[in-house]
Amino acid sequence: MTRGALILATLLAFSCTDRDAPKPVPVADEGTAVDPSRPVSSREAIPPVVAPAAAPVDPDDPAEPGIPDLARLARYVYKTMQRHEEVCPFANPYRDRLHFALAVEVEGGRMTRVGLGHVGLELPGATEPRPLAAAQWPRELTSYVTCLAPHLQAVAMAPAPSDGTYEPAYAYGGRPAGRPAP
């Protein structure tokens, strides 16, 4: 070994001692809880406080606690209407606002019967819709309800409204190019 290499090896051996080595930092295990009463060393990392992610609030959620059965059923129906817009399209055929109620029978958490309950038109300046006789119901609406019925009957409602008959009401705005009121 050359004289220079020997001097270098000697210098390295004496210059690096245990007191100069970095000290290990204690890290809490993933499964152990951090004791907030224990003082934190200057070499310890303070674990970040992570707030639980809040779920977005859905105003049409049928599972919302405290709502009446009719509102719960109306939300299931409305969500099904939205999901099946391409399969069962509907556009109000009238110039005036169209109101209708579905006659829905609920049994054991399922909609067992779905049909039209009543239909009305809200003429300009009126405060309430004028009821239409069953013979005047627009075929577009009856076809829409016929198309939508099997989709509604397939919905497993949990939580479900109580067994019984309900009439959730819906309204569609008029179209300027629509038909005049009958």
Residues 13-47: tens digit of each pLDDT: 555 555 555 555 555 555 555 565 555 555 555 55
pLDDT of residue 51 exceeding 70, the answer is no
**Structural domain of residue 104, as residue ranges?**
69-171
Span of 5-9, 67-71, 169-173 with lowest mean pLDDT: 5-9
Angle, CA 126 vertex, CA 70 and CA 136 arms, to 5°: 70
Angle, CA 173 vertex, CA 168 and CA 178 arms, to 5°: 125
Return d(Cα 103, Cα 39) in angstroms, integer. 66
Mean pLDDT of 84-88: 94
- Whether 29 is in a domain gets the answer no
- Whether 92 is in a domain gets the answer yes
- Whether 41 is in a domain gets the answer no
- Whether 141 is in a domain gets the answer yes
- Whether 8 is in a domain gets the answer no
Strands (E), 30-154: 97-107, 110-122, 130-131
- Whether 91 is in a domain gets the answer yes
Mean pLDDT of 123-150: 94
Return d(Cα 20, Cα 116) in angstroms, integer. 85
Q: Which residue has the higher pLDDT, 114 or 40?
A: 114
Greatest mean pLDDT range, 2-11, 46-55, 57-66, 125-134: 125-134
Count of domains forming the chain = 1
pLDDT of res. 30: 52
- Whether 152 is in a domain gets the answer yes
- Whether 7 is in a domain gets the answer no
Span of 4-13, 91-100, 109-118 with lowest mean pLDDT: 4-13
φ/ψ of 61, rounded to 5, equals -70, 120
